[in-house]
Structure 1
Amino acid sequence: MGLFSFIKDAGAKVFGIGKTTAEEAAEKAADAMAAKLKSEEAAAKKLEETISDLGLEVENLNVHISDDKATITGAAFDQATKEKVVLVVGNSNGIATVDDQMTVENPEPEAQFHTVVSGDTLGKIAKNYYGNAMKYPVIFEANKPMLKNPDLIYPGQVLRIPALD
């Protein structure tokens, strides 16, 4: 009879053994999606724990991550807490955008936000926003407990700049 040629990855496997290439691809895609969702859920839980560990009071806090977007819900104690929670989540690796859907129990004016660039110092930022470099402790205090040292800020980090009283 001779030698016959076939397309090796086409069609179903003989006697139901194995899967077609399309079935294998669909299974791999489903497995990858499940792993991604599990990873996003774990990252969200870790952020919720971090927020709690930092002593930021948010009732019914929920962080949901989808791709590089985080959505935060809950009731923050005050505006400063709300803004700090947004910064904790937004300054995390892998997060590009934060959808803040939190409410505030004790409303107050919103702070401005500043993205640190190379060469920035808290003094330089204070000079820019307040006209006085010696007001840098206001910015440092507004970003505690995320900042541990006023000299340790990095490019790309986003900081709260509260209004002066």
Structure 2
Amino acid sequence: MGILSFIKEAGEKLFSAASTPANAEAAPAAPDLAALNKTAGDAIATYIRSQGLDATNLQVTYDGASHTVTVSGEAADQPTKDRILVAAGNVQNVDKVDDQLGVTAPAAAPTQFHTVVAGDNLWKIAEKYYGSGAKNGVIFEANTPMLKSPDKIYPGQVLVIPPVQ
């Protein structure tokens, strides 16, 4: 548990920047910030579930002022938890994910995360973490269904790097 950092300008576009609470102060009428935060949190929760990911009592909240998503509940296992956290963080206008998600069956080895930079590809990332680019499929599988293709990663995206089996 803790805070994971993301790049808020990168990621899935689930809601427009104009409708996020942080940009609401510039609007002429005072919007209901709690309602905007709830709408954004609900959109992120829907996105997580659309990826085939879920957890018991999954709760997702969004704070537009700090660009932070808080995720709570109980995931079945560590890989599911990691995918939920990455899915929540790889959303545009999300800067941090507050991990309050428990795990029914914890993993023995800790998970690592990698923030993609320009020039990265899964082969290079696998070489960095595993010593062999041929293990790039392990990273791809750990990040599906968020990754649709091993060739489609982008700078700022955060990937799960599972422990070597």
Of Structure 1 and Structure 2, which has the larger fraction of its residues in helix? 1
What is aligned with 2:146?
A: 146
Q: Is residue 57 of structure 2 the alignment partner of residue 53 of structure 1? A: no
Measured against aligned partners, the alpha-carbon deviations of 1:15-47 in whole angstroms (never above 9, x if no partner) come to xxxxxxxxxxxxx99x5251x322221111111
- Distance in structure 2 (CA, Å) of the matches to 1:32 and 1:62: 27
Higher RCO (CA 8 Å, separation ≥ 6 residues): 2
| Alignment partner, residue 30 of structure 2 | 32
The letter for the 1-side match of 2:42 is: K
Please name the residue that 1:99 is paired with. Answer: 98
Q: Which runs of 4+ in 1 moved over 6 A?
A: none
Unaligned runs of 5+ in 2: 1-25
TM-score for the superposition, normalised by structure 1: 0.78
Question: TM (normalized to structure 2)?
Answer: 0.78
Structure 1, 87-96 or 40-49: larger mean CA deviation: 40-49
Which letter maps to 2:105? Answer: N
1:65-144 superposed matches below 5 A:
65-67=62-64, 68-108=67-107, 109-144=109-144
Q: Distance in 1 between matches of 2:75 and 2:48?
A: 11
Identity of aligned residues (%): 45
Deviations 1:91-116 (A, max 9, x none): 10111011000110111033100000
Q: Once the 2 structures are TM-superposed, how far is the Cα of residue 48 of structure 1 from its aligned partner?
A: 1.1
Find the aligned partners of 1:89 and 1:124 in 2 and give their Cα distance.
Answer: 25
| Structure 1 SS opposite 2:52 | coil
The 8 Å contact of residues 74 and 102 in structure 2, kept in 1 or not, is answered as yes
Give 5+ residue unaligned stretches, structure 1. Answer: 1-27
Q: Take 2:158 and 2:112, find their aligned partners in 1: how far apart are those partners?
A: 10
- Compute the displacement of 1:57 (Å): 2.7
Supply the RMSD in Å over aligned alpha carbons.
1.8
What does residue 18 of structure 1 align with?
none
Q: Distance in 2 between matches of 1:99 and 1:124?
A: 29
